[in-house]
A and B are shown apart, each in its own frame.
Chain A
Amino acid sequence: MVGIVVVSHSERAAAGIREVAREMGGDARIEAVGGTEDGRIGTTPGPIREAIEAVADDGGVVVLVDLGSAVMNAELAIEETAVDAVVADAPVLEGALNATVAATAPSATVESVREAAEDAHDVSKV
């Protein structure tokens, strides 16, 4: 199964997004990473890499990110791991929700899950 990692500057935001996403795709393998290792707002690559490795099995991993440094640290984490992982260019909450649902499809691949996450760009809210 394709794993999902949600990365936010805030640990609580990441956990909350995972909670919302899980409601729709209960069986998906999803990890939340937020804040720095010493509890500040921010991101560091080490915990992101650990989360990618924790949810990875044969299917690879799609990573959802919030602001700038989350993107850069997720990219660094991916470079440092052997897991087939990609960053989705998507709004973090809607993207995580789409990805979680897509990951539970039997035919899901990293590419199909990433595309589902990126489709969240086109969702109009009002």
Chain B
Amino acid sequence: MDQETQSDAVQTAVEAIADRLSVEKQYLTELDSAIGDADHGANMDRGFRTALERVEETDGDPAELVKTAGVALVSEVGGASGPLYGGSLMKASQELEDGITAETTVAFAERYLETVEERGKASVGDKTMVDALTPAVHTYKKSIEVDDCEPIEALGRAVDAARRGVEFTTPIHAKKGRASYLGWRSVGHQDPGATSTLYLLEELLDVATEYVDGEVVIDAEADEVPEPDAEDVPADGGE
């Protein structure tokens, strides 16, 4: 997949996430009303709408576009989600400087998780986005590096792992974030940050699948149609 197609894939992913969050906005806010400050849906929706506008205005390689989205989230989200989602994208974008390959996406995922853990000082079991993210990142890495999966299959397994992680947040007691102030009253509620993390991963899987299967004809503009060999690139680990 050439650089232009990769950049286009990043933009499509940001757009897909922005669309998904606008659909899920109310549900995320309902989850956050139960155990937080009831702003997660609105914050994520506003953040990704701004990220999409900025990404559309930017003409850059995939790393620059991901960084641009991160900067927009940091300035627009206005809560812990700004530094957690945006700051982590900014840091992890450095791993995509050589383009999007199986190897760079594993590094990207690990860097993203590491930044979230450092910034939020949260671990698995604290009832946060880390509960969805950790199994997803570990599963992705293992599927590629140990099981030799194609990146799409690895990402599919990662999404399943994140979904189980989200389910795991419901019966546990929050130890980080606003929900931790509720103590035992947080038990029985699904974590909004873990949930939105799952939505991001689901949309990434959808967009990656479209691009890798070579089904995408972008905006009907002939000069942006993926190269005929586009589907081979992520699978063999790079260009």
Interface residues of A (CB under 8 A from B): 36-38, 40-46, 67-69, 72-73, 75-76
Contact = CB atoms under 8 A, between A and B. Distances in A.
Interface centre among B43, B74, B81, B178 (most CB of A within 10 A): B74
Given A41-B37, A42-B39, A68 B78 contact: no
Given A45-B74, A46-B75, A68 B82 contact: no
Contacts of A42: 39, 43, 78-79
B119 A75 contact: yes
B82 A44 contact: yes
B84 interface: yes
A12 to B, nearest CB: 17
29 contacts: A37-B78, A38-B78, A40-B78, A41-B37, A42-B43, A42-B78, A42-B79, A44-B74, A44-B75, A44-B76, A44-B78, A45-B75, A67-B178, A68-B176, A68-B178, A69-B79, A69-B82, A69-B83, A72-B80, A72-B82, A72-B83, A72-B87, A72-B119, A72-B120, A73-B82, A75-B83, A76-B74, A76-B83, A76-B87
B125 interface: no
A113 B15 CA distance: 46
Contacts of A37: 75, 78
A68 B87 contact: no
B48 to A, nearest CB: 16
A88 to B, nearest CB: 16
B177 interface: yes
A44 B77 CA distance: 8
Contacts of B43: 42
Contacts of A40: 39, 78
Contacts of A72: 80, 82-84, 87, 119-120
A36 B197 CA distance: 23
A68 B179 CA distance: 11
A40 B87 CA distance: 21
